[in-house]
Amino acid sequence: MQENIMYIAYILAIFFMKRILVFLLLATSTMILKAQTGAESKVAAAVEKLRLAMVSGNRADLESVASKELSYGHSSGKLEDFATFVETIASGKSDFLSIDFTKQTIKVSGKTALVRHELHAKTNDGGKPGEVHLGILLVWQKDGKEWKLLGRQAYKLP
């Protein structure tokens, strides 16, 4: 009888240990997912800050969202650095009346984030109204507590 009680106790211990391990695994997974979601939401907020800065043309906002090492590529192949990117938009040479981002995806890996979306915009470059529809790849880098735009490449949509 004592052997039966020990066997039952052994089975119960294994049963509860498995439940505890499953619970710990689920709890750890949930914390990891929440951390990723938190980082992704901060990147999404930085992307929105970029969109608003490009529409407003506010020089300080443009400077605050981009890295000094920015490489900004256009679908035409033209490349701009930080200073040229800021000046082109702040001066109104490139004038966005509205910008919408669609089909956005965000992938965060450590201090780097890749954002893909489609950009649909109404422009008024040089007083000439127009529309732009492009695919965009943004590369963001965490700088302290902020995400800064490090790279951008536009491409023509099929």
pLDDT of residue 58: 98
69 Cβ neighbours under 8 A, 6+ residues apart: 82, 150
Q: Please choose, from the candidates 142, 144, 120, the residue with its C-alpha nearest in 3D space to the C-alpha of residue 51.
A: 120
For the stretch 40-55, pLDDT in tens is 999 999 999 999 999 9
What is the residue whose two structure tokens read 């490009």?
A: 54
Q: Is 140 exposed, middle or buried (0-12, 13-18, 19+ CB in 10 A)?
A: buried
Mean pLDDT (10-residue bins), the chain, 158 residues: 69 66 48 64 98 98 98 97 98 96 97 98 94 98 96 96
61 Cβ neighbours under 8 A, 6+ residues apart: 49, 52, 53
Task: State the amino acid at position 132 in one-letter form.
Answer: V
Task: Using alpha carbons only, give the angle 146, 148, 154 rounded to the nearest 5 degrees.
Answer: 150
Domains and their CATH numbers in the chain: 2-156 (3.10.450.50)
For the stretch 64-91, pLDDT in tens is 999 999 999 999 999 999 999 999 999 9
Q: Is 157 helix (H, G, I), strand (E, B) or coil?
A: coil
Alpha helices in the chain (DSSP H): 2-56, 59-65, 82-90
Of all helices (H) and strands (E), which one includes residue 134? strand 128-143
